[in-house]
Amino acid sequence: MCGIVGYVGSNEATDFLLEGLRRLEYRGYDSSGVVTIDEGELQITKTAGRVEELSKALKRSPAKGSTGVGHTRWATHGPATNENSHPHLGGDRILALVHNGVIENFREIKQRLVQHGCVFASDTDSEVIAHLLAIELEKKTEDTLNEIDPYAPLVAAVQNTLVQLSGTFGLAIVFRDWPETIVAARLGSPLVIGVGEGEHFIASDGSPLAGHTDKIVYLADHEIAIVTADAIRVVHRDQGDVGHDVKLLEIDSTEVELNEYPHYMLKEIFEQPEAIRNALRGRLDKDEATAVFGGLNLSAQQLQKVKRFVLTACGTSWHASLVGEYMIEALARIPVEVEYASELRYRNPPLDTSTLLFALTQSGETIDTLAALREMKRKGHPTMAICNVVGSTIAREADGGIYLHAGPEVGVASTKAFTAQCVVMSLLALYFGRLHHLSYEDGLRIIADLEALPEKVERALETSNHVRQIASKYANCNNFLYLGRQYNFPAALEGALKLKEISYIHAEGYPAAEMKHGPIALVDEKTPSVFIVPRGAVYQKVIANLEEIKARGGPVIAVVDEGDHQVADLADDIIEVPKVADFLQPIVASIPLQFLAYYIALERGCDVDKPRNLAKSVTVE
């Protein structure tokens, strides 16, 4: 969950490192640091706090050098202090490294290193790697002085170090005696290499590379890369030297800039109509009244034999999976089970050969989701990925999948990825419905509903100013309930999560009818209930639940269809959204819920894009 950048070339390294760390700050922002090599010495600058603090420190004391690595941290071991910031030194300042991941056996290694005479300057698990590598490097330098390959000591020392580690790591390492070289290694934590002209870049994902290069190399697990300004050499743990494919980086630099928006979250909320259009583009077939996918890698005959779905995900993607469960069961009549990835990876559920797994993830790097997918693959089940990042680990390891094409999502609180995932779920429901019982006319009706969706979402965005007024009214409340039924129950969960994530208000989502089985005890005049109550099959039932709240003095905010006067007479505040088909209601209803969380967070003075204790891409267990 930390961000790593690296540069080797002819320019000043810190120019790219600082810019890259700012773009990666969504991955962690407890502290940050850089190391460069200048006149044969390692120059380290690191600070607790945001990257802006590091920038100020570098202005006071510039770090020169054309080779360097940087890091922005999400704390796992030890608090956010200068000492625990990366980079960490090894040996007599012979190397420095930055690390993303968790070393599970670091205590045992640290105890051994202390007995060896190593002195530790931090509480982190990462520092043990630096000391361990320094010891191995000193051994290998002596053993391989006569080697023709000048990088033999580095490769051997890194390999011997990595085999002693248990856990996950993405590593970028610089060496005093190899001042024009960076070594990168990964196991479970993503790393990519940007290919330039006379320069190379390293990063945790492609966003820092946009505007610098459009060529990218993805490192795989158990690979070590020796990177210089002019060359990349990749060594696999088991296979020795291996080739590397250069891919196209599909990110434009303008996509990761704020432009006129004050926050990435607000920018991404307003990008949702286009994100939905991109998710739909080329995937609707009116001639056959179905959906079209290019990457499932299974024939229609094979897919027709699927009798059960397992959808696995974490956080917001789990809520999108719940929406998908309702959609697929209603439109395709196929049983669906939604599993937390963190639980599925350690369970042994009975799954037969007709079960198909879909792993949902925005980043494609979520460690729990990746582990669950790998476990299902290990047991022989076909696995599919629904993710947003082209070339991500989950996208590459799944047997097939569907990209969201939502564009980069930088805000920690997911918005457009959620609605894009729900759209892809609706496409899957249409596709499998047409494989089974869904009629041609029903398929055309669903296609028409989907084609109209972007315009409906644009109209939902017009609620922004009205929701801002409502937010100011309730911003001082410290507890919220979010209530919906059927398709809108997952939307209630997602609305509550958004509020928790960025405003630090306690919020819970429930099926509206379940409220009377316990949560109603929380209702008082200072606890607003947010009802999602568009017209549909259970409309009157939800109104009855709403009246139960009103009878107990609880304030009610209701998200309703345009022109709904019945709820307007009952609720304290209403937010009108365009009417859509039942299965698309959670997509449209989520828009004002995102606004509500955003504006309440602003009212409370919270850092919307970098909420406390969170990071965007969760690559630690």
DSSP secondary structure of 289-324? TEE--SS--S-HHHHHT--EEEEEE-HHHHHHHHHH
Q: Which of 461, 495, 525 is the last residue of a domain?
A: 461
Please check whether residue 141 lies inside any domain of the structure: yes
Please check whether residue 620 lies inside any domain of the structure: no
Residue 158 sits in the same domain as residue 273: no
Region of poorest pLDDT, from 13-27, 205-219, 240-254, 443-457: 240-254
Please check whether residue 583 lies inside any domain of the structure: yes
Q: Which of 415, 445, 461 is the last residue of a domain?
A: 461
Tokens of 153: 């000591």
Please check whether residue 569 lies inside any domain of the structure: yes
Contact (Cβ atoms closer than 8 angstroms) between residue 369 and residue 402: no
Residue 250 sits in the same domain as residue 262: no
What value does the mean pLDDT of the chain take?
93
Rounded Cα distance, 530 and 23, in Å: 34
Rounded Cα distance, 94 and 71, in Å: 19
What is the mean predicted confidence (pLDDT) over 595-609?
96
Residue with tokens 């990257």: 51
**pLDDT interval class at 142 (50, 70, 90):** low
140 pLDDT more than 90: no
619 pLDDT more than 70: no
Residue 287 sits in the same domain as residue 372: yes
Please check whether residue 621 lies inside any domain of the structure: no
Domain that holds residue 412: 258-461
3-state secondary structure 318-379: HHHHHHHHHHHHHHCCCCEEEEEHHHHCCCCCCCCCCEEEEEEECCCCCHHHHHHHHHHHHC
Per-residue pLDDT at 2: 86
Q: Cα separations (Å) of 526 from 122, 138, 197, 510, 523?
A: 45, 65, 60, 18, 8
Q: Which of 428, 446, 461 is the last residue of a domain?
A: 461
Residue 516 sits in the same domain as residue 445: no
Residue 358 sits in the same domain as residue 217: no
Neighbours of 305 (CB within 10 A): 12
**Beta strand pairing status for 529-532 and 479-484?**
parallel
CATH number at residue 541: 3.40.50.10490
Residue 333 sits in the same domain as residue 454: yes
Residue 235 sits in the same domain as residue 353: no
Q: What type of residue sits at position 371?
A: A
Q: Which residue has the higher pLDDT, 251 or 132?
A: 132
Q: Which residue has the higher pLDDT, 316 or 141?
A: 316
Contact (Cβ atoms closer than 8 angstroms) between residue 608 and residue 402: no
CATH number at residue 110: 3.60.20.10
Give, as one character, the DSSP assignment of residue 77: S
Contact (Cβ atoms closer than 8 angstroms) between residue 42 and residue 175: no
Rounded Cα distance, 266 and 415, in Å: 9
Neighbours of 81 (CB within 10 A): 16
Rounded to two decimals, what is the model's pTM? 0.87
What is the mean predicted confidence (pLDDT) over 570-597?
97
Please check whether residue 210 lies inside any domain of the structure: yes
Neighbours of 17 (CB within 10 A): 28
Chain Cα centroid distance, residue 325: 21
Active site members: 2, 616
- Helix or strand holding residue 241 (H, E): strand 240-242
SS3 425: helix
Residue 95 sits in the same domain as residue 128: yes
What is the mean predicted confidence (pLDDT) over 34-59?
94
**pLDDT interval class at 541 (50, 70, 90):** very high
**pLDDT interval class at 159 (50, 70, 90):** very high
* Phi, psi of 610, deg, nearest 5: -130, 65
Per-residue pLDDT at 299: 86
Residue 440 sits in the same domain as residue 475: no
Residue 282 sits in the same domain as residue 201: no
* 565-578 pLDDT, tens digit each: 889 889 999 999 99
Residue 249 sits in the same domain as residue 269: no
Residue 229 sits in the same domain as residue 338: no
Number of domains within the chain: 3
